[in-house]
Amino acid sequence: MAEGRKKKFIKELLQKPKVRRESGLYVVDGPKMCGELPPEEAEEIFVTQDFLSSKYAESCEGILRSMGYEIVTEQEMRQMSDTVTPQGILALARQKRVRGLRELLELPGKEREPLLVILETLQDPGNLGTILRAAEAAGATGILMDRSCVDIYSPKVVRSTMGALFRVPFLCVEDLLEAVDQLRAGTPHPEGKGLKIYAAHLKGAVDYAGVDYCGPCGLMIGNEAHGLSDALTERADGAVKIPMCGSVESLNAAMAATIILFEANRQRRKQPGGCR
């Protein structure tokens, strides 16, 4: 690809979800993220000469050695990056493909029961990125979302995951209601086990800490402004709430998900294969 076209293409990847979908590529920016990017998912690496002689180059040594790289000027890096102060390294990466619910459930391996985070129409990039980080930290086995959610490969989401994007399996589906029905019925589970699906809901009847998360289960989190749709809430095996003091009416989606996921983590820690 000619240099001018390459820079234009990278800018389009940063700005246009359609270009990301059609190309199957996305942009990873900065030494923290590039250093954690699996080499087999990298397409091209761009660095500045100043970066190569900086202390940050060491954190990216593995991928630079295995992939090779193209040296660009500081001005070219500024043109390619969407950050105010680029850090001297940028990668084009191939998107991961989870082909369906069965693969999403099989990926964690047999040592852990599935613990899915199910997202409906989540719109804030920071929320989605934070939920991925919390999911990894709490031992969740995957993310399921509908296509109305913010693009997981948008630059703001990618940055806010702080590398969790590379490690937490996720699947986007056209029909979230159908997917939840299948999970509850046990159709995609390798052993035919149905998942207990819980809805985080302001009108939940059960304290979130009073639910058993040790078996195969999923936690549904809704849109920041409107919460979960009635249709999806009705699919839940139970609606859970987080008791709050003071005059606070609700928590943001990422905070609510994090609190409940770490309760699930607390319950699962002593289970075989649990996070310790």
71 plus 187 within the same structural domain: no
Domain match, 111 and 231 both = yes
Indicate whether 39 and 88 sit together in one domain: yes
Contacts of 231 (CB under 8 A, 6+ apart): 177
> Would you give the distance in Å from CA 235 to the centre of its chain?
23
Domain boundary among 67, 94, 121: 94
| Residue 3: per-residue pLDDT | 63
Structural domain that includes position 35: 3-94
Assess whether 72 and 157 both reside in one domain. no
For the beta carbon of residue 196, count every other beta carbon within 10 angstroms. 18
User: Is the model's pTM score more than 0.75?
Assistant: yes
* Domain end call among 61, 94, 127: 94
Q: Who contacts 137 (Cβ-Cβ below 8 Å, separation ≥6)?
A: 262, 265
Residues 75 and 107 placed together within one structural domain of the fold: no
Residue 17 lies in a domain: yes
41 and 15, same structural domain? yes
Last residue of one domain, picked from the residues 79, 94, 109: 94
In a domain, 274, yes or no: no
Backbone angles phi, psi at 238, to 5 degrees: -170, 150
Q: Are 198 and 157 found together in one domain?
A: yes
> How many of the other CB atoms lie within 10 Å of CB of 104?
23
Write down the residue that tokens 């009705």 correspond to.
Answer: 234
Same domain, 199 and 263: yes
Which CATH number do you get for residue 7?
3.30.1330.30
In terms of residues, how long is the chain? Answer: 276
Name the domain count of the chain: 2
DSSP 3-state of 82: coil
Per-residue pLDDT of the chain (276 residues; tens, 9 = 90+): 446 668 889 999 999 999 999 999 999 999 999 999 999 999 999 999 999 999 999 999 999 999 889 999 999 999 999 998 999 999 999 999 899 999 999 876 557 899 999 999 999 999 999 999 999 999 999 999 999 999 999 999 999 999 999 999 999 999 999 999 999 999 999 899 999 999 998 887 899 999 999 999 999 999 998 899 999 999 999 999 998 888 777 789 999 999 999 999 999 987 765 655
CATH number at residue 210: 3.40.1280.10
Please indicate, yes or no, whether residues 202 and 69 belong to a single structural domain of this protein: no
pLDDT on residue 107? 72
> Is residue 4 within 8 Å of residue 15, measured between CB atoms?
no
Give CA torsion, residues 212, 215, 216, 219, to 10 deg. Answer: 20
